[in-house]
Chain A
Amino acid sequence: MSTIDTSTKAGAPGEPGWKRYKFANHFRNAEDEFDACKLGFWLFLATEVLLFSGLFCAYAMFRMKYPEAFAAGSHHLDVKYGGINTLVLLLSSFTVAMSIRCAQLNNQKWLRINLIITILCAFLFFFIKLAFEYIPKWSQGIRPGILYSNPFAGHPQEPTWWSVYYGATGIHALHVLIGAALLIWCLVRSFRSNQYGPTHYTMLENAGLYWHLVDVIWIFLFPLLYLIH
């Protein structure tokens, strides 16, 4: 009787996906594959931070040159919406951490519930940003750089502030949408074949890391844009 299991990922019907999963055969074991994936993902996150560091740098340099334009622009932002969005993202970070914990403990039901809450928070964040901030401001002519057409600028360099604002929050909002798409993909895989469990949850872990990074970026954007005058 041969004990060698040559089955592929689709084998062993009836078993949950995380039990069926076989690590790629160039790794020594599942642990090594997980570590390699995660290291690669951290390297990717480092490049993401460097992407945003360009925006933070632009913010810092323009603020050094035109602090009054930044104060005038920041005056138009409502701390209420920024604060609510901060809480929404913090909550979603907590629930995605909880869903990874549920994967580690093989609690499939709460894994999905936590993921669903996270995804809803992602869309709530985007909705608040769009409906209460982007659309009203854009329609008043408060737009970035050369598109600025509001005649009542508080400072001649106020359009520069709005370039930084739309650039930073726009790229962040794009990351929110990408993160939500990744988490939806995770949720679909979980529903279809219980893909995440104690011995294999690499994709959920990495999607979670991405989501936490989106949260960390917002933790810094919120005071920079809304609170510092």
Chain B
Amino acid sequence: MQAQPAQTFDPNDPHGFADLGEHHGHHITSTRMLVVVILTLVVLTALTVVTSSIETYLVKEMGWMLPEWVNIAVAMSIALVKGALVLLIFMALRYENPLYSIVFLFCMFAFALFLGLTGMDLDNRGHVYDWKVASQETGGTGVNMTHPPSTIHVLGETIEFHDLNSSGEKVGFGFTGSLAEELKKRYIAQTGITEAEYQRRWAEANHIHDHHDTLPSADRSLVRTGLSGALDATAHDDHDDHASHDTGGH
């Protein structure tokens, strides 16, 4: 007579492993929690839109000088909270195996490394170029030491600069050949309009109806809606922004 097995056979656990290893049932997030999270997300979306328009209003209409980081810091902080809520509750990282969180955090670490090192590289190019320029001026052919500097007149100031290469040819600087400049040139050539007419059409296309009636150029930037600063925005750049506003009709 054949012996019966002591335990009944479980087809979902053929090797009897059910008691081995940790068993954590799936977390079922409550409807209440999901509703609270979606409502919070909607409120935060409204908040970030409202704060952004308040910042623009303060800067453009009231003439406040908000620090450059405010616009970015407020919007990104709210986005971080929203993203964290979706990850922790909707994607259940808070309730599930911490291994998934580790995978995600490692990915964030890689992202931070990527962004941080690239940013550091770009941020320090200026120092490298300054150092190179200095070494070229004192050494090399010394062509810029023996020739008088070129001058340009920007906003009533005369700026001297050296723009000769080692062969003594003028190099110049600026945005020449850029795509948008080329398009502007072609448009003027095709339509036969004057520079002033082009500026009028440009202002119309860009919804500029007030005193901002000039084009930005390589020498003089025109901040229309921007609240965030340039990479190399330092004290003297702030001064330039003031100057460009004061002489808007220049």
Using CB atoms and an 8 Å cutoff, list the residues of chain A in contact with chain B: 3-5, 22-23, 25, 28-32, 34-35, 38-39, 42-43, 45-46, 49-50, 53-54, 56-57, 60-61, 63-68, 70-72, 74-75, 79, 83, 86-87, 90-91, 93-94, 96-98, 101, 104-105, 145-146, 148-159, 209, 212-213, 215-216, 219-220, 222-224, 227-229
Q: Which residue of B lies closest to A221 (CB)?
A: B79
Contact B103 A68 (CB under 8 A): no
Give every chain B residue within 8 A of A57 (Cβ-Cβ).
Answer: 114-115, 118
Q: Which of A79, A96, A155 contacts B49 (CB 8 A)?
A: A79
Give every chain A residue within 8 A of B97 (Cβ-Cβ).
Answer: 35, 38-39
Contact B226 A70 (CB under 8 A): yes
Q: Which of B146-154, B155-163, B165-173, B201-209 contacts A (4 or more CB under 8 A)?
A: B201-209
Give, as a whole number of angstroms, the nearest-CB distance from B44 to chain A.
9
The answer to whether B95 has its CB under 8 Å from any CB of chain A is: no
Q: Which of A46, A60, A228 contacts B119 (CB 8 A)?
A: A60
Q: Which of B17, B48, B108, B180 contacts A159 (CB 8 A)?
A: B180
Q: Which of A25, A91, A228 contacts B72 (CB 8 A)?
A: A228
Contact B230 A39 (CB under 8 A): no
The answer to whether B242 has its CB under 8 Å from any CB of chain A is: no
Q: Which residue of A lies closest to B198 (CB)?
A: A151
Interface string of B174-193 (1 = CB under 8 A from A): 01001111011011000000
Q: By DSSP majority rule, is chain B's interface helix, strand, loop, or mixed?
A: helix
Contact A158 B115 (CB under 8 A): no
Contact B90 A97 (CB under 8 A): yes
Give the CA-CA distance A28 to B97 in the complex, in Å. 18
Q: Which residue of B lies closest to A52 (CB)?
A: B111
Contact A28 B17 (CB under 8 A): yes
Give the CA-CA distance A228 to B119 in the complex, in Å. 18
The answer to whether B75 has its CB under 8 Å from any CB of chain A is: yes
Q: Which of A30, A68, A215 contacts B226 (CB 8 A)?
A: A68
Q: Which of B34, B183, B228 contacts A63 (CB 8 A)?
A: B228
Q: Which of B26, B72, B78, B104 contacts A104 (CB 8 A)?
A: B26
Give every chain B residue within 8 A of A224 (Cβ-Cβ).
Answer: 75-76
Give, as a whole number of angstroms, the nearest-CB distance from A71 to chain B.
3
Contact A71 B227 (CB under 8 A): yes
Contact B45 A86 (CB under 8 A): yes
Contact A5 B100 (CB under 8 A): no
Size of the B side of the interface (Cβ < 8 Å), in residues, is: 86
Contact B34 A67 (CB under 8 A): no
Contact B115 A64 (CB under 8 A): no
Interface string of B57-81 (1 = CB under 8 A from A): 0000000000000011001101100
Interface string of B31-63 (1 = CB under 8 A from A): 100110110011001001100110010000000
The answer to whether B140 has its CB under 8 Å from any CB of chain A is: no
Give every chain B residue within 8 A of A219 (Cβ-Cβ).
Answer: 79, 82-83, 86
Contact B90 A153 (CB under 8 A): no
Contact A153 B184 (CB under 8 A): yes
Contact A71 B225 (CB under 8 A): yes
Give the CA-CA distance A113 to B78 in the complex, in Å. 31
Give the CA-CA distance A224 to B107 in the complex, in Å. 20
Give every chain B residue within 8 A of A53 (Cβ-Cβ).
Answer: 110-111, 114-115
Q: Which residue of A lies closest to B68 (CB)?
A: A67
Contact A152 B205 (CB under 8 A): yes
Give the CA-CA distance A157 to B175 in the complex, in Å. 9
Give every chain B residue within 8 A of A42 (Cβ-Cβ).
Answer: 99-100, 103-104
Contact B119 A43 (CB under 8 A): no
In the A-B complex, the 4 residue pairs with the smallest Cβ-Cβ separation, listed nearest first, are A71-B226, A152-B205, A153-B180, A151-B187
Give the CA-CA distance A42 to B238 in the complex, in Å. 46
Contact A83 B49 (CB under 8 A): yes
Give every chain B residue within 8 A of A49 (Cβ-Cβ).
Answer: 104, 107-108, 111
Contact B106 A46 (CB under 8 A): yes
Contact A212 B17 (CB under 8 A): no
Contact B183 A149 (CB under 8 A): yes
Give every chain A residue within 8 A of B114 (Cβ-Cβ).
Answer: 50, 53-54, 57
Contact A71 B13 (CB under 8 A): no
Q: A67-B231, A75-B224 are in contact. List 6 more A-B contacts (CB 8 A).
A: A64-B230, A68-B230, A90-B42, A223-B76, A228-B228, A229-B228
Q: Which of A212, A227, A229 contacts B86 (CB 8 A)?
A: A212
Q: Which of B41, B99, B106, B221 contacts A68 (CB 8 A)?
A: B221
Contact B79 A223 (CB under 8 A): yes
